[in-house]
Amino acid sequence: MQTLAVLLAVLFCATCHSAVAFIDGLLPNGDFEHGPKQSDMNGTVVLRHNAVPMWEISGFVEYIKSGQKQGDMLLVVPEGAFAVRLGNEASIKQRVNVTRGMYYSLSFCAARTCAQEERLNVSVAPDSGVLPMQTLYSSNGWDCYAWAFQAERDVAEIVIHNPGVEEDPACGPLIDSVAIRALYPPRATNKNLLKNGDFEEGPYVFANTSCGVLIPPNIEDDHSPLPGWMIESLKAVKYIDAAHFSIPQGRRAVELVAGKESAIAQVARTIPGKTYELFFSVGDASNSCEGSMVIEAFAGKDTIKVPYESKGKGGYKRAVLRFVATGPRTRIMFFSTFYTMRSDDYSSLCGPVLDDVKLLSVRRPRKM
């Protein structure tokens, strides 16, 4: 039904750029399968600012077909047959009706085509963030990213912009599959002092791609697309779903794909002098990520290392860190000790899966 609604919107409003009604999932023509008329193109270059249905473009934008060649390189589109490429200072924009004050996560897939230092600026005024694309996490050259914002108006103007300046104006990242999802930040309860410890609340995950969604470092955006959690590291963590990966519990989890450079953290309210237990699951995503893995968990100054021997076929084990709080706030953090590569291609970063994180106070001392 959603696909039909999008198709009808494109057919009856091919040149309309007013705000569209919000639905979790792909934006109207978010996969760019509906392209410009031939009269609005010069080769692959789009000539008019509203030639791509449901989008407004600025600068040097190309409409790319999967399998198209760029020199000796074959351009691949992750889903469907078409994508757009943003040249120097180029951008794409779409307006969406939203609820003021609500949090939203934007998901999209991107691939760099020329420079090693490519990056993207994503914004919904007044929020903006720069997403680095130097590190490739998958072997096919495409990664999907998430970025979050809080709506301050009834209409969100979503802009994806390439701030790069290359000698070749055609150099720039490919963009495909742009989607949005409303976020409902969970609260801490007496059953779990951590928010979103099961990671069920998070960005939109594309049904037809099996690469998960990268959540960038928190220094790159003001609001986390993984409510309750911060990515306190130089690299991203991967948000994965049960439809494509092995998950210890529920429908969502995170994969720590960049060793100690891929850290996830949350600050919890605690009572000084009180004893707490931090429970969590460590496993593998059944994605050919094999070998010895270790997740290190921290609760303030207390720490534990949890080894997990992965055969790359799924599975998990439970662990617990017992500690005494030293202040009214305790920082809970997890990272993977080692870098790991998938055994089926030796070029895709992977790592241990973290899920079902719970922080509970200990009511009475355990008998030894």
* Final residue of a structural domain among 139, 160, 183: 183
183, 198, 214 - which closes a domain? 183
* 229 within domain boundaries: no
> 48 vs 36, 43, 54, 172, CA distance in Å?
9, 13, 13, 19
Is the same domain home to 109 and 10? Answer: yes
Examine the domain organization and report whether 153 and 285 are in the same domain.
Answer: no
* pTM score of the predicted model: 0.89
Handedness of CA 40, 46, 48, 53 (dihedral sign): positive
Q: What is the pLDDT of residues 315-334, one digit of tens each?
A: 999 999 999 999 999 999 99
Residues 243, 178, single domain; the answer is no
d(CA 349, CA 145): 15
Predicted local distance difference test score (pLDDT) of residue 216:
87
pLDDT of residue 10: 42
Cα(82)–Cα(311) distance, rounded to whole angstroms? 36
Is there a single domain that holds both residue 150 and residue 253?
no
Residues 172 and 249 in one domain: no
Q: Are residues 244 and 123 in the same domain?
A: no
Q: What is the pLDDT of residue 7?
A: 44
The answer as to whether 202 is a domain residue is: no
At residue 11, the pLDDT reads 42
Domain membership of residue 224 (yes or no) is no
The pLDDT of residue 1: 45
State how far the Cα of 94 lies from the Cα of 20, in Å rounded to an integer.
9
Whether residue 126 has a cis bond before it, omega within 30° of 0: yes
Mean pLDDT by 10 residues, the chain (368 residues): 44 50 86 95 94 96 86 75 92 96 94 79 91 80 91 95 80 91 90 96 89 80 84 90 95 93 93 97 94 96 96 95 97 92 81 97 68
CA distance 339 to 20: 43
Is residue 245 a contact partner of residue 323, using CB atoms and an 8 Å limit?
no
Provide the CATH number for the domain around residue 262: 2.60.120.260
Beta-bridged to residue 155, according to DSSP, are 97
Q: Do residues 126 and 254 share a domain?
A: no
Within this chain, do residues 73 and 138 fall inside the same structural domain, yes or no?
yes
Residue count (the chain) = 368
Q: At CA 309, angle to CA 307 and CA 313, rounded to 5?
A: 135
Q: What is the pLDDT of residue 154?
A: 94
The total number of structural domains that make up the chain: 2
With a CB cutoff of 8 Å and minimum separation 6, the contacts of 123 are 129, 158, 159, 161
Please check whether residues 160 and 285 belong to one and the same domain. Answer: no
Segments forming the whole domain that contains residue 339? 236-361
Chosen domain end from 140, 157, 183:
183
What span, in angstroms and rounded, lies between the C-alpha atoms of 260 and 162?
Answer: 29
Q: Are residues 243 and 165 in the same domain?
A: no
Q: Is residue 83 part of a domain?
A: yes
Q: How far is CA 199 from CA 49, 202, 210, in A?
A: 39, 7, 18
- Residues 243, 156, single domain; the answer is no
Tell me, yes or no, whether 320 lies in a domain.
yes
Burial of residue 224 (CB within 10 Å: 0-12, 13-18, 19+) is buried
CB proximity list for 69: less than 8 A, separation 6 or greater:
75
Same domain, 165 and 31: yes
Residue 177 lies in a domain: yes
Whether 274 is in a domain gets the answer yes
In a domain, 212, yes or no: no
